[in-house]
Amino acid sequence: MGDRAMAEIKTENGSLFVYTHWGGCDLPETAKEAVRAAKPRWDDDSYATRILVDQLTKGGRDQETGYGLLLKPNAEDEYNNDNPSVIIDLVKQELTTIREGKTKVAKFQEV
């Protein structure tokens, strides 16, 4: 049970994956909000990644369960066949959402 999904945050040096156990259906909108919050640091991978993770996991602060951080995508994403449903690409400054076989790509400025 749950509402599982995963976001990939791509940087020049690799990716960090953020897994949500309960917020999968909301992840695309949460990712948009996270990208907006990170706008002042879009060109600084370390700060932007920290802000993105903070925003993507804010529903689980101070809780033991609900979210996870992964260095490789090995958590279930029920919306996208175990691949990330959201890709936040700091290199290309693009947000990609993948749902029900449909892919939508938007530049950060459009989010």
For residue 17, the enclosing domain spans 5-110
Residue 100: predicted pLDDT: 85
The pLDDT confidence band at residue 6, using thresholds 50, 70 and 90, is very high
Give pLDDT tens digits for 28-72. 999 999 999 999 999 999 999 999 999 999 999 999 999 999 999
Residue 104: predicted pLDDT: 97
Of residues 91 and 81, which shows the higher confidence score?
91
- H helices of 1-111, where? 27-37, 45-56
Q: Supply the mean pLDDT for the chain.
A: 96
Q: Nearest Cα to 9, choosing from 37, 49, 46?
A: 49
* The total number of structural domains that make up the chain: 1
Cβ distance 67 to 60 under 8 Å? yes
Q: Nearest Cα to 36, choosing from 55, 9, 17?
A: 55
**Which residues have C-beta within 8 Å of that of residue 54, sequence separation ≥ 6?**
none
